[in-house]
A and B are shown apart, each in its own frame.
Chain A
Amino acid sequence: MKELEKLFDRIIQRTTINLRELGYNVKPSVWSLIPPGQMTKFYAFYGITPDHPLNFQFRHSGLAGSYFLGRCHVTNSLLYKSDIRGDELKKKGELFRFQEFEIQVSKDEEILIEDSALIKTLVHNFSHDPETLEKFFIKDTVSTHYANIHGSPSDGCFLGPFSTVDLTTIRDCVIGTFSYIQAGEISHLNIEPGTIWVRSPGNFNFLYRYPGEQLKKYIYFAPGDQPQGIFMDFVNDRKEDFQEIFEVVNFESSVSVPGSASLDRYAVTKPTTHISENVLVSQRAYLQNVWLGKGANAQENCYIINSRLEGYNVTAHGAKIIEADLGKNVFVGFNSFLQGRPDCRLSIGKESIIMPHTIIDIQEPLSIPAGHLVWGLVTNQKDLEENSLPVNKFSEIETRFSKGNLVFEGSGRSFVKAFQDRIHHILEANGAFFNGAENKGHAQRNQNISFNTIQPYPRGSLKGLYPTIVIQP
């Protein structure tokens, strides 16, 4: 067996051992997901800017098509078309607040990926675990297509396609397909597909479960097969557009970009795209016939097509917006799929919050009033009534609430405030409030970024693996 396959086998074995209590065997699920030929086909690349730290160490790993920024160590791992964004890591001397504690960060934080396989996965943000402030670790973990590991250290876990772990330390867990987990810390849990769980112990607990059969139409993953469904068809249909921009070394976009905005050279832009001031468009974002108002952002793996976003819109990692009009300050959470049609557009009023992993897929025009919180599966007006509430009404919940497949316990006010604060922080971090001198964020810092590429062994027993590489200032 070649070294690459041995490595993959070893990673799978280690993850399966961690998941033995749950009886989950990783091998049938992922063995066919990374054909060894693909690991030699694509180069890896990393970004250099004067505004970001630089410390990359790659050892005994395959990195095909993956992107790195900031501080990152990868050891004994396979990364396939993954984005490892270390541009929000903590810096030495910063204070981390946790409950009543203020903990000083003792050294610059690093992303440490060990004995793991990440397939088309996004890693971003920083460790929110007070026990491991300086190490955002991902070890003995296998993640699959379009999973998001966001501020979530992971040890011994499997993440299904389109799943997200957000600000949560996970140990020995299976995160089901299209599940979104934000719960602080979890261990030894097998989370079924389509579980949306947001918990802050002592404050609130939000749980929505997708109807299994209906979710399968959008995304379905069975061991031995590639992920299937509308989501996969959607991204596969646009794959070639990305291939074109990855094949060209110096790519110049024809889109006009204001001085305070940034458009990543690895984003796809198709006519006619308008970018206003303070807009951030990240790599692997896809824009086609889009109007982005001031301070809007399109994060990694976003697709925005035939749509208008009025401004200060957050389109989180992996979200898709098609044939829609969004008012100002509309938040669209991770991996949400919002699909209007040319003859029946989707309209979302200002300051609405579309929860992470929401599916809106309509066959008739649908208008979401301003200031609404929307979750779950919405295909028509009736679904909208069952799966939404005005934000101010949600804030009035004091003990418990259930509606359709949603159960909620705790303070609605705390829940809404947590989301609103987070949205504000995201806009701030992305540079939406830049005034020409202050409040710089990613939109301004990412403008002058250089990309270097690195290549694996092209043949021999180490084919597909990269030599040990240390890149420092």
Chain B
Amino acid sequence: MFGRILDQGRYCFLNPKWSLFVENYTVKDLMVPISEYASVPEGSTLFEAVLALEKAQEQFDHTKYYHRAILILDKENRVIGKLSQLDVLRAIEPRNEQTDKIDDISRFGFSEKFIHAIRDKHRLEGVLMENICEVAMKIKVEDFMQAPSEGEIVEENTSMDTAIHQLVMGTHLSLLVTRGEEIVGILRMSDVFAAIFHAMKQCEINKDR
């Protein structure tokens, strides 16, 4: 697959031109197969999800880019959601009536500086970091995961230029790759960026020749 080709440093040899890259290669060439991605069954705790992420990263060391999300699977091993790093941070943030009020205030045109000042004022009531272990053992992944939206799903035979457009328009960090109804892989923005970077470098090398 394209992703593997890239990992072995052969990308430049096989695909020296950017136009060929976007025209001739599809999403499946660059995706990470779902079997190599971090996943946990629904009902898992936040802590179990983070362990799964660590384990997946150890096994998947082809690039310097780390996995940044955990997939949540139902009983039939279908993907029902994705837990990103941001979701994990959101999960361990202290929540109470006061924080909800502060979140609500932000709708009314107050400056970020002002919101931060109020948040700091009330932070003493929070539990962030102090009992992080307890929080991580208690929270269920489905409470903070994001269900995949339509714009986050891409068919495996989609061209790279279409996939790039989808990443840009939706400001997604990754797309879920489907074959028919089944999710078979993840197209990560980090891999797409690496491929583009190599294509750019190759343009420069060709110009110098």
Contacts and interface: CB of A to CB of B under 8 A. Distances in A.
Interface of A: 183, 189, 197, 199, 201, 205, 207, 209, 400, 402, 407, 409
A207 B102 CA distance: 12
B147 interface: no
Given A400-B117, A402-B118, A409 B110 contact: yes
A197 B108 CA distance: 8
Interface size class for chain B?
Answer: 10 to 19
Contacts, number: 24
B119 to A, nearest CB: 12
Contact of A207 (B108, B111, B117): B108
Nearest to A201: B109
Contacts of A197: 108
10 contacts: A189-B107, A197-B108, A201-B109, A205-B109, A205-B110, A400-B114, A400-B117, A402-B121, A407-B110, A407-B114
B111 A409 contact: yes
Contact of A183 (B105, B109, B114): B109
In the complex, which of the residues B107, B111, B114, B121 has the most CB atoms of chain A within 10 Å of its own CB atom? B114
A288 B177 CA distance: 74
Interface in B101-144: 101, 105, 107-111, 114, 117-118, 121
Contacts of B111: 409
A409 B107 contact: no
Contacts of B107: 189
A221 B29 CA distance: 58
Contacts of A201: 109
Contact of A199 (B101, B108, B114, B118): B108
Q: Is the interface of B mostly helix, strand, loop or mixed?
A: helix
Contacts of A205: 108-110
A338 to B, nearest CB: 26
Contacts of A400: 114, 117
Contacts of B105: 207, 407
Q: Is the interface of A mostly helix, strand, loop or mixed?
A: strand
B54 to A, nearest CB: 40
A199 B109 contact: yes
Nearest to B107: A189
A216 to B, nearest CB: 18
Contacts of B121: 402
A171 B14 CA distance: 55
Contacts of B117: 400
A201 B110 CA distance: 9
Nearest to B102: A407
B108 to A, nearest CB: 5
B125 to A, nearest CB: 15
A199 B108 CA distance: 9
Nearest to A184: B109
Contacts of A207: 105, 108, 110
A76 to B, nearest CB: 33
B154 to A, nearest CB: 27
Contacts of B109: 183, 199, 201, 205
A400 B113 CA distance: 10
Nearest to B101: A209
Interface string B75-110: 000000000000000000000000001000101111
B158 to A, nearest CB: 30
A209 B114 CA distance: 17
Contacts of B101: 209
A258 B75 CA distance: 84
Contacts of A199: 108-109
B208 to A, nearest CB: 52
A230 B117 CA distance: 37
A162 B159 CA distance: 57
A407 B111 CA distance: 12
B113 to A, nearest CB: 9
A197 B105 CA distance: 11
In the complex, which of the residues B101, B107, B108 has the most CB atoms of chain A within 10 Å of its own CB atom? B108
A297 B109 CA distance: 34
B104 to A, nearest CB: 8
B63 to A, nearest CB: 41
A117 B192 CA distance: 54
Contacts of A407: 105, 110, 114, 118
A82 B79 CA distance: 56
A209 B97 CA distance: 14
A409 B101 CA distance: 16
Nearest to B108: A207
